[in-house]
Structure 1
Amino acid sequence: MIGVRPRRKFKRLRQALFSGRRPPRLCFTVGNEVRIFQGGVQFFPALIERIDHAQEYVSLETYIFANDDSGRAVSDALVRAAVRGVTVRVITDGVGTERNLPMFAQWKESGVDHRIYNPHLLFGPLGFSRTHRKLAVIDGTYAFCGGINIVDDFDQNGTRLEEPRWDFAMEAKGPVVKDVRDAFDVQWDRIRLGVKPREPRTADCDAEPPQSRWSSRRARRARQRARLGEIHAVDRPCVAFVARDNLLNRRAIEKAYLRAIAHAEREVLLANPYFMPGRKLRRALVYAAQRGVRVSLVIGRKEFVALDYATPFLYGNLLKHGVRIAEYEKTMLHGKVAVVDADWATIGSSNLDALSLVLNNEANMVLVNHPEIAGLHDAILQAFDEASRIDEKRYASRPLTERVLSWLAYNSYRAMMKVITIGQYD
């Protein structure tokens, strides 16, 4: 009988992964209504309103669920939903969220089903990975995705910020909601089974493109463009959900960035708090700048001290090739957003570092030709203008001690990530 139970676990997981609920790598759909929220002051009321009107189920996944005013307001909405008979499932991370929050007892009493992703810091069944995703699905009708945790906008690890955290989330209504729901369901089963099998091969989006009466040859070409995630895959507004973890689509989010930047013709705007991408993404930014694209990076600071020293090591090569860089210190920059040519955008939880691109569970939405992109474009430009611009000459004349410290921090970080990601970080 030895070994029977593990085999059953793997069998159940395979069934969960391959029973029609495997999320595609990057599949664009049309007919989605989209709302973009900046900060919790816009996001939390919208989320709570959807939860309060839920009739069938609420599924929520977050890295941080805090016991503060914002967290308690969302928790109360979840409890109200469960009490009136709605199926409520919540996933929190074992490190990002405290294990014994007072609200958890209330959840249990009211029927909220709660699972913790990878409660072990080291050597757990799911390895070193964390769930860093911020997702919610209500009744299969609405889906939320972004970078906003369930935490007060002004709180930063117990410190009160003077300005609200700079962050974004998005609500979608339409066909893309199914992909978010499927991703949550896979995660839910994965936690229950507590195993981490080898990564299966994943299929690209094989749905017909959102165009009608095309010839078979043109349809095949459109499917190929949709698989590549090209900016002009379709003419109408469309949305794709893209998630990465260590089971499915390990490089999906990174590839979405790479393909968009590779097709950029005029402008790349990118804002991210943890900027430590691998060589491929850095080269893509350099190549874009070399062919005349205006590349602007807004980089957050004072959230992870090691990166504050390590990230500037990358500036030299980027500045030399015309990339514009600004460090944002007005408040805590937590948004992970980008806009390319004003008609491609992404909003999500993925930082541009090894943990997010290679190790952790992340989720982003990709928008193409949506009118909402304009507002995000303006917000990133405004953040760039409010940030401290990095001057190439001043950067080159930094004191020797500062340059040496930056070199040490970068190479130490790189070596550590090589070990943690088992050589996957480049």
Structure 2
Amino acid sequence: MSRRGARRIARLGAALVSRRRATRLAFTVDNDVRLFSTGADYFAALIESIDSAREHVALETYIFRDDGAGRLVSDALQRAARRGVQVRVITDGIGTGRLSLFDEWLAAAIEHRIYNPHLFGRFGFSRTHRKLALVDGREAFCGGINIADDFDRDGEPLAHPAWDFALKLTGPSVAQVSAVFDAQWQRIALGHRPHPLEMLRERALPSMSPASWRRAQVRALSRPSVAFVARDNVVNRRAIEKAYLVAIGRARQEILLANPYFMPGRRLRRALVRAARRGVDVRLLIGRKEFPALDHAVRYLYGTLLTAGVRIAEYEKTMLHGKVAVVDSNWATVGSSNLDALSLVLNNEANVVLVQHPEIAQLRGAMLAAFAEARPVDVDRYAARPLVERLVNWFAYTAYRAAMKLITVGGYD
């Protein structure tokens, strides 16, 4: 790494850890990271890990479908339980619903808990949108891939697998994932709200003063490092959003951002505009054609971004489900969090932040390739769109914003 690059990393590190309670990031080193870009590869690795389990397996997902992919994972979970491994599964009450697989899990002695079984429950409107897996405390998986066939979109076959990503982690970061899963498991069972951050500190971080902790974090960021960040409605309400804001605010060359539901609040949009105005190459890859009303609302946001110099492309080759970003080729995030009101303000989410890891180059290459395949949004053509289309975009955005302000009790800005 050049001396200039090292200085940039040092500045980024100082920003990431200077406000410990604001960012909720705890970076660790000596982690092995593997990036998956298709469900097939991800499920194969997940099943291999489950089949090697000797003590315990934990899985949390928004969607668990009773399809070909779901059956393979379910069979692996049942095999593990029947050879005496403790298997715990959390599914979302709306994302997954009631499956016949649940009876099979019960028969195999799999422990299963449902987060917020109804649309509005004791956790309000929130969902668990996380996609996590743990095996024996030595391996963890995190990303945006549900337990579902990635050639299927709500019963509609796809010509190409959904564009999505997940990570496999080994090393100290696994303890962070484990602490967050355990907190969620207790929260569902007991109905109270344990503090995941305190559990994380107790199990994954050494006891030290704030100043010593900050120095240790800056040292960690001088090497390839990993931080696991989970969003909840207790102590980590803005954790993922703030991780994005710090990285975007420190960007000097390039920001690549891909998201299927791009409806961030004003702070994140302003950060992207400011980055583009100071000369950063900002590119947004936006998913389309899953929720038509949302498609119209998202387009309302394009004007300010395009005027500032942000490049936007709409990806329609297949379903874009990945929630990923790369900044200056040395910072990246992969996870479950969309950049919309539900993910940033309401739902339980989980992302991994990578600094200086080799996998960042692989992710950046995939994002650039997808951007090249996507349809660019032309500034002049956008400005000249018909009045009716403009009104539809405005109305869709206004309706979305009003609904999200109501659901999040004013939390969405």
Would the alpha carbon gap of residues 408 and 89 (structure 1) be closer, same or farther in structure 2, given more than 3 Å must change? same
Q: Does 1:186 align with 2:179?
A: no
Which of 107, 110, 118 does residue 109 from structure 1 map onto? 107
User: Does structure 1 residue 366 correspond to structure 2 residue 350?
Assistant: no
Structure-2 separation of matches of 1:392 and 1:176: 43
Q: What is aligned with 2:65?
A: 66
CA distance in 2, matches of 1:202, 1:422: 26
The answer to whether the aligner puts 1:94 opposite 2:87 as a matched pair is no
The Cα of 1:248 is off from its aligned counterpart by 2.7
Matched residue type, 1:180: V
1:57-77 CA distance string (max 9 Å, x none): 000000000000000000000
Q: 2:386 aligns with which of 399, 404, 412?
A: 399
- Describe the superposition over 1:331-372 as per-residue Cα deviations: whole angstroms up to 9, x where unpaired: 000000000000100000000000000000000000000011
1:302 corresponds to which residue? 289
Equivalent residue, structure 2, for 1:76: 75
Q: Distance in 2 between matches of 1:276 and 1:196?
A: 28
Quote how far apart the aligned CAs of 1:218 are. 8.8
The equivalent residue for 1:278 is 265
Quick check: 1:62–1:132 contact (8 Å CA) kept in 2?
Answer: yes
Paired amino acid for 1:297: L
* 1:339 aligned partner: 326
Matched residue, 2:400: 413
Higher helix share: 2
Structure 1 gaps, min length 5: 1-23, 210-215, 227-231
The structural deviation recorded for 1:330 is 0.4
**After superposition, what is the alpha-carbon deviation per residue over 1:376-418, rounded to whole angstroms, capped at 9, x for unaligned?**
0000011111000001000000000000000000010000000
Q: Secondary structure at the match of 2:401?
A: helix
Deviations 1:88-135 (A, max 9, x none): 000000000021x1211111011100000000112x111100000000
Which one-letter code corresponds to 2:66 in the other structure?
N
1:119 is matched with which residue: 111, 117, 120? 117
Query: Are the aligned partners of 1:125 and 1:196 in contact in 2 as well (CA < 8 Å)?
Result: no
User: For residues 125-274 of structure 1, what are the structure 2 equivalents within 5 Å?
Assistant: 125-195=122-192, 207=205, 222=215, 234-274=221-261
Q: Which moved more, 1:279-288 or 1:300-309?
A: 300-309
TM-score by length of 2: 0.90
C-alpha distance 389-98 of structure 1, shift in aligned 2 (>3 A): same
Percentage of identical aligned residues: 64
* Cα distance between partner residues in 2 of 1:201 and 1:208: 13
Between the aligned partners of 2:56 and 2:90, the Cα distance in structure 1 is 14
Question: 2:368 corresponds to which residue?
Answer: 381
1:282 aligns to what SS in structure 2?
A: helix
Distance in structure 2 (CA, Å) of the matches to 1:289 and 1:93: 38
Post-superposition Cα deviations, 1:164-220, rounded to whole Å, max 9, x if no partner, equal 1000000000000001000000000000123459x89979979579xxxxxx99956
Distance 1:304 1:356 in 2: 16
Matching of residue 326 in structure 1 with residue 313 in structure 2: yes
- The question of whether the paired residues in 2 share the 8 Å contact of 1:142 and 1:171 is answered with yes
Aligned length: 389
C-alpha spacing 1:286/1:129, structure 2 compared with 1 (3 Å): same
Letter of the structure 2 residue corresponding to residue 26 of structure 1: L
The alignment yields a C-alpha RMSD, in angstroms, of: 2.2
Q: Could you tell me how far 1:307 is from its partner in structure 2?
A: 1.1
Output the TM-score relative to the length of structure 1. Answer: 0.88
Letter in structure 1 aligned against 2:119: L
Q: Give the partner amino acid of 1:387.
A: A
Q: Give secondary structure in 2 for the equivalent of 1:164.
A: coil
1:106 counterpart letter in structure 2: E
Which secondary structure state, in structure 1, belongs to the residue aligned with residue 301 of structure 2? helix
Contact 2:264–2:340 (8 Å) recurs in 1: yes
SS at 2:181's partner residue?
A: helix
